[in-house]
Amino acid sequence: MPNQLDVLELFRKRTRSPLRPRASDLIRAIFQDFRQNPQSSEALILGEVEQWGREIFVIAQQKPKPENLRTREDLAKLNHGMLTADDHSNIIRFIKKAMRAKEELRPVSIITLIDTYGADISMESARKFQAFFIAQLIKVFLTVPIPTVSVVIGEGGSGGALAIQMTDRRAQFDDALYATAPPESMAAIIFRDATKVKEALQISKPTAAELLEFGVIDKVLPAPAKLTDVTAYARVLAFYLEKTVKSLGRVKIETLIRVRRRRASAFGVTIRKASLSDSDKVKKSRRWASWFSLTPLRRKYVPSPDIRTFTAWDVDFQPGDDWGEWDDPANHPGKFVKCGELNLKDDNREGCGAVISLNKFMDNHYVCPECGRSSIMGALGWIKCLSDEDSFQELNRDLTVNDLLHPSLLTPEYSAFLTKQSQRSPFRESLVTGEATIYGHKVALAVCEFYFSGGTLGVVFGEKFYRLVEFAISRKLPLVSLCCSGGARLHEGTPALMQMVKTVNAITRLKREGLPFLSILGDPATGGAIASYAALGDIILAEPKALVIFTGPRVMAARGFPVNEDDVRAASLCRFSHHIYEDLPFYYDIRGIHETAPRSELKSLALKYIEYYKQGQPLSNRYW
């Protein structure tokens, strides 16, 4: 039986088995009059059926069957079972069709079946804003005025699954797995070894029982003993779907949407420190007081922990042509950097070779003043770059995973990892939030701290972002975010993945209040961050060389996909964004990147849009 297998055996013998029933098998067994939509593809099944007294719109992911993998061309294809940007566009179009049916007062439900390695990570999808589509789909499922049900029937991988999984009711077969990333990709990222699948699965906590505990699903479906028994799988699934669709049909849609929002806002908070004897009113007042307590920023502006520096006495230090203008090396004891030799971690020699005072380099926002080559910058640098001097007041400074996660999730390996990260950063987590001014205009500001775990999206990140949105709403402030992130915090497993939902939900709340969101993309803007809140800006700005992509190039290359980084740099994507207006039905609400500017000009560019908002507001709403 599935429950008697360890997670690696479960993964290899059942979840990933090519003999496992596919979505098309189950659909055929359950829905006799299923009408497949022509926008379906080999990885996506879209279709309609009248059943259980309602019109059912089915969205299903499908991995290939053995008979689909008989030729060399079939075997050479790398994105089998992964939804492309085109597929995601068709899903949105299909949901809009379901909404039209509802407007005609027909009883409608949406069912999604999930079985995918993850979203397509090819360059073709990346160029078409794959990450933005994932963010849009999460938003759609949080807000669609139709009852929704999802079932993980095999494998749920990363944002590719999450894009259609956040429904009103969420089930999973007990021999299915659902993880932050495919285990091979996760192993390649964490261990730099794609073969350490078992270790990756243990960190992911992808089993149905674990996901039920986290609130990711609310029902575990028993799988039959025989893996190839389509009839038995279909019987269990049909019973669950019929019962669930009928029960949801009796609930007001306003109630369903309210529950979706409440559930999304709670993801990642598994413990509470409030006293059980406190009244609810006292609890609420204490919570809001702690959330909105501003603290002056008192962090020394220190260089990146990865930056290579020199002194005038270093043997290998080669001064520039202006060295003769300096009286004596002894009079210049400070540190210097050399363009092209900035990073301690690699041997990248690109750059003009200019020797720059470290202080001058930091004051120029980690950009070479000679050739314009930039280096990754931490939160202190971005705060200095984007806000007025000494204007930043920090929120939730001391919030850590110890305040949110149950101790069972804080493994010794993760605790050691966090200790190491705390030694690299002046901050305690990967997101810094607070209030600041931009040329005198007050804003709520969220800045990724890349020096702490690569700015990864984890439970503290999501909670701090959610609290900042509540702060912005309470003060009627525009929200400005700087995304510089390596993706989801893989060490936290699925709770980290759910922060994509939490941050998208926060942004939809901000927009319901009529407040603007200005999203700025730094280098790099990848993974769960760009596939959630960062892609939903009313205006999206970026530095020209920012890497903007869902799956990082290193993982793409490790999985065998060709990589062309120039195509997914912000400048290139911004140029492509101009063509979006020629195909608006395809891109839905996506507008890509509106403008790019060097780091030194992003602050003034942000001011332009803040003033646009200010000028459009009634005088009574102008709080600055």
Q: What is the CATH number of domain 379-621?
A: 3.90.226.10
Residue-level pLDDT at 288: 58
| pLDDT band at residue 325 using 50, 70 and 90 as cut-offs | very low
- Domain 2-266 shares a fold with domain 379-621: yes
Distance CA 531, CA 526 (A): 8
> Is 60 exceeded by the pLDDT of residue 272?
no
Q: At 410, is the secondary structure helix, strand, or coil?
A: coil
Mean pLDDT of 317-325: 50
Residue-level pLDDT at 309: 85
Residue-level pLDDT at 624: 34
> Is 80 exceeded by the pLDDT of residue 334?
no
Distance CA 224, CA 15 (A): 13
> Is 50 exceeded by the pLDDT of residue 217?
yes
Residue-level pLDDT at 138: 98
User: Is the torsion defined by CA of 489, 495, 500, 506 positive or negative?
Assistant: negative
Mean pLDDT of 101-107: 94
Pairing mode of beta strands 393-395, 294-296: antiparallel
Residue recorded with tokens 């055996």: 9
> Is 80 exceeded by the pLDDT of residue 465?
yes
Q: Taking the CB of residue 19, how many other CB atoms lie within 10 A of it?
A: 10
Helices (H), 423-515: 459-475, 494-497, 499-512
**Chain centre distance of CA 481:** 14
Q: Which of 1-15, 213-227, 572-586, 589-603 has the lowest mean pLDDT?
A: 1-15
**Residue scoring higher pLDDT (391 or 353):** 391
Residue-level pLDDT at 326: 42
Write out the two tokens for 398.
């001391």
Q: How far lies 60's CA from each of 130, 167, 213, 273, in Å?
A: 18, 14, 25, 41
Residue-level pLDDT at 271: 64
Residue-level pLDDT at 5: 77
> Can you give the residue ranges of every domain in the chain?
2-266, 310-363, 379-621
Residue recorded with tokens 């659909």: 27
Residue-level pLDDT at 122: 92
Mean pLDDT of 328-343: 70
> Is 90 exceeded by the pLDDT of residue 476?
yes
| pLDDT band at residue 475 using 50, 70 and 90 as cut-offs | very high
Q: Which of 160-174, 409-423, 443-457 has the lowest mean pLDDT?
A: 409-423
Write out the two tokens for 186.
């996760």
Q: Taking the CB of residue 73, how many other CB atoms lie within 10 A of it?
A: 8
| pLDDT band at residue 320 using 50, 70 and 90 as cut-offs | low
Q: How far lies 272's CA from each of 268, 465, 468, in Å?
A: 11, 18, 19
| pLDDT band at residue 314 using 50, 70 and 90 as cut-offs | low
Q: Residue 15 has what DSSP assignment?
A: I
| pLDDT band at residue 346 using 50, 70 and 90 as cut-offs | low
Q: How far lies 579's CA from each of 475, 499, 535, 594, in Å?
A: 37, 31, 17, 12
> Is 90 exceeded by the pLDDT of residue 89?
yes
Distance CA 596, CA 372 (A): 14
- With residue 28 as reference, give the H or E element that holds it: helix 23-30
User: Could you tell me if residue 366 is left (phi over 0), alpha (psi between -120 and 50 degrees) or otherwise beta?
Assistant: left
Q: Which of 182-191, 238-247, 382-391 has the lowest mean pLDDT?
A: 182-191
Residue-level pLDDT at 278: 44
Name the pTM for this structure. Answer: 0.92
Helices (H), 564-615: 570-577, 584-587, 599-615
Distance CA 242, CA 370 (A): 66
SS (H, E, C) 269-337: CCCCCCCCCCCHHHHHHHHHHHHCCEEECCCCCCCCCCECCEECCCCCCCCCHHHHHCCCHHHCCCEEE
pLDDT, one tens digit per residue, over 28-49 is 999 999 999 999 999 999 999 9
Question: ω before 524 within 30° of 0 (cis)?
Answer: yes
394 closest CA partner among 408, 382, 386, 383: 383
> Is 70 exceeded by the pLDDT of residue 417?
yes
Query: What residues pair up with 170 in beta bridges, in sequence order?
Result: 150
Distance CA 503, CA 531 (A): 10
Write out the two tokens for 138.
């999460």
591 closest CA partner among 573, 616, 611, 608: 573
Mean pLDDT of 521-525: 96
- Length, in residues, of the chain: 624
Q: Taking the CB of residue 500, how many other CB atoms lie within 10 A of it?
A: 29
> Is 90 exceeded by the pLDDT of residue 284?
no
**Residue scoring higher pLDDT (389 or 292):** 389
Residue recorded with tokens 């406190």: 278
Query: What residues pair up with 46 in beta bridges, in sequence order?
Result: 59
Query: What residues pair up with 337 in beta bridges, in sequence order?
Result: 356
Residues near 22 by Cβ (< 8 Å), separated by ≥ 6?
62, 63, 65, 115, 154
**Chain centre distance of CA 608:** 27
Mean pLDDT of 384-400: 94
**Residue scoring higher pLDDT (237 or 349):** 237
Helix/strand/coil percent split, the chain, to 5 = 45, 15, 40
| Mean pLDDT rounded to a whole number for the chain | 89
Q: What percent of the chain has pLDDT over 70?
A: 91
Q: Name the CATH topology of 2-266.
A: 2-enoyl-CoA Hydratase; Chain A, domain 1 (3.90.226)
Residue-level pLDDT at 281: 46
> Is 90 exceeded by the pLDDT of residue 2?
no
| pLDDT band at residue 145 using 50, 70 and 90 as cut-offs | very high
**Residue scoring higher pLDDT (318 or 170):** 170
Edge-first strand listing for the sheet containing 169-173: 35-36, 44-51, 54-61, 108-114, 148-152, 169-173, 219-221
248 closest CA partner among 159, 156, 170: 170
Distance CA 169, CA 166 (A): 8
| pLDDT band at residue 239 using 50, 70 and 90 as cut-offs | very high
Mean pLDDT of 401-420: 88
Residue-level pLDDT at 621: 42
Mean pLDDT of 72-83: 82
Mean pLDDT of 286-301: 73
Q: How many secondary structure helices (H) and strands (E) does the chain include? A: 24, 21
| Rounded (5°) CA angle 190-192-198 | 65
> Is 60 exceeded by the pLDDT of residue 282?
no
Residue-level pLDDT at 316: 53
Are the beta carbons of 165 and 123 closer than 8 angstroms? Answer: no
Residue recorded with tokens 């510089």: 484
Residue-level pLDDT at 619: 40
Residue-level pLDDT at 560: 84
| pLDDT band at residue 319 using 50, 70 and 90 as cut-offs | low
